[in-house]
Amino acid sequence: MASRREFLQAGVAASMLPIAGLAGTSSAPAVETLPLYKIIFDHRFPSSREFAAQARTLGLAAHGIEGDITDVWYHDLSLRWIQEPVAIGGLTAHGPLFCLERLAWDHRMRVVFRGQHTVSANGRMEHALTGPQTLLGDASLLAGRPGWASSVADLMARFPVSRADTCDRTIVTPTRAAGLDSEPLFSWVIAPKKEDL
């Protein structure tokens, strides 16, 4: 497995490529995908809205927040997770992820994919991703989307049930044409512990 540094260097070398142009082949064997009960997005951030729009086209249920997850937690997730620990994904600021990760722990769930999306010093977007190797090596399947946030939605729609090995990967992409988000965003998937699957 390549080290984080090697991935970073690869990211710099590939800095002019869209996120979809990176490793992987479309001929990779089909993997069973993780059903996402819902994805959470934040209306305040353009990238998060773009992520939700793409997720909806992929058939995922999207729930919008404006920073605060109390309502979706109290009226939806807390009740659902008592019945069954269903997986969710999101592209949000740090706060919602921080809360949901800790609330999910109490239902034997874990963050199984985490991406931090920040503007780097050279003005490009840096995406530091941690997740299943099968997923992060499968990025070519994301081809053809207009921006990185849409690609993240694609990636979640193809999230594998099996996640035996995790890896880190950093990818650099152009920033959104339609403006920057006012806070660093995090993409994430929360799912039941491996042994509970």
Partner 1 sequence: MKLPPGVKSKDFSDAIKQFEEAVGKEWVFTSDEDVALYRDAYSPFWGEEEERVASSAVAPNTVEEVQKVVKTANAYKIPIYTISTGKNLGYGGSAPNLSGSVVLDLKRMNRVLEVSERNAYALVEPGVSYFDLYRHIQEKGYKLWVDVPDPGWGSPVGNALDHGGGYLQPQYRNHFDSHCGMEVVLANGDLLHTGMGAMPGAKTWQEYKFGFGPWIDGIFSQSNFGVVTKMGFWLMPQPDAYLTGTVTVPNHDDLIPLIDTLTLLENSGISNGMPGIGSPLVGGFMMPPPSPEVSAMLAKPDGISSPELQRYARDKGIHYWSCTVKFYGPAKAIAAQWEYAREKFSAIPGAKFQDGEFYKLPLTPDQFNRVHKPEFGIPSLEMFSIGARSPLNPTPGEGHIWFSPIIPRTGEAVFEANRIFSQAARDFGLPILSFSLPTTYWMRAFIFLFGFPITHNVATNRKNRESFKKLVQIAAEHGWGEYRTAPAFQDDVMATYSFNNHALLRFHETVKDAVDPNGILSAGRYGIWPKHLRKARA
Q: Which residues bind partner 1 (CB under 8 A)?
A: 65-70, 73-74, 78, 93-96, 98-99, 102-103, 105-106, 110, 182-183
**How is residue 71 written in tokens?**
């309502």
- Determine how many CB atoms are found less than 10 A away from the CB of residue 12: 14
Chain centre distance of CA 122: 23
Burial classification of residue 13, based on how many CB atoms lie within 10 Å of its CB (0-12 exposed, 13-18 middle, 19 or more buried): exposed
At residue 189, the 3 state secondary structure works out as strand
Q: Judged by CB, which is closer to partner 1: 5, or 144?
A: 5
Tell the smallest beta-carbon distance from residue 105 to partner 1 (Å).
5
CB of 140 to partner 1, least distance (A): 31
Our CB check for partner 1 shows the closer of 67 and 146 to be 67
Question: DSSP 3-state assignment of 1?
Answer: coil
For partner 1, the closer of residues 73 and 159 by Cβ is 73
Q: Please report how close the Cβ of residue 30 comes to partner 1 at its closest, in angstroms.
A: 28
- In angstroms, what is the minimal distance from the CB of 122 to partner 1? 20
In the bound state with partner 1, the residue whose beta carbon lies nearer, of 15 and 166, is 166
State the DSSP H helix or E strand holding residue 87, giving kind and residue range, or none if neither.
strand 87-92
